[in-house]
Amino acid sequence: EPEVTQTPSHQVTQMGQEVILRCVPISNHLYFYWYRQILGQKVEFLVSFYNNEISEKSEIFDDQFSVERPDGSNFTLKIRSTKLEDSAMYFCASRGWTGWDETQYFGPGTRLLVL
């Protein structure tokens, strides 16, 4: 069964450093998302992406964040200058277009720790 994959599974970085989190969505999917989950808290939406542009972004997704689909398969989240509070699990999700079905399928996540 097709699945969303993410790399790396874990990333440790120093405050102020740039990180790039990578995702390969399910191959025939058209809509892509990034969510994050701080330890012990709820899953929060960051950004959605369709047709090579951002569809919607949350208040969390400030100028330090950017997304890119550099080729036909990868979808990346970049954090330009990490802060301690960026430590979280980052999930990529994707969905296809099958009429009314909006089901999003999540990747296994990247656990980011900022020291």
- Give the footprint of another protein on this chain (CB under 8 A): 31, 33, 35, 41-45, 48, 50, 55-56, 58, 89, 91, 93, 100-109
In the bound state with another protein, the residue whose beta carbon lies nearer, of 14 and 51, is: 51
Residue with tokens 């330009």: 80
* CA separation for the pair 36, 101 (Å, rounded): 23
In the bound state with another protein, the residue whose beta carbon lies nearer, of 56 and 85, is: 56
The residue with tokens 């208040």 is 59
Indicate the DSSP class of residue 98. Answer: B
- Nearer to another protein among residue 18 and residue 56 (C-beta): 56
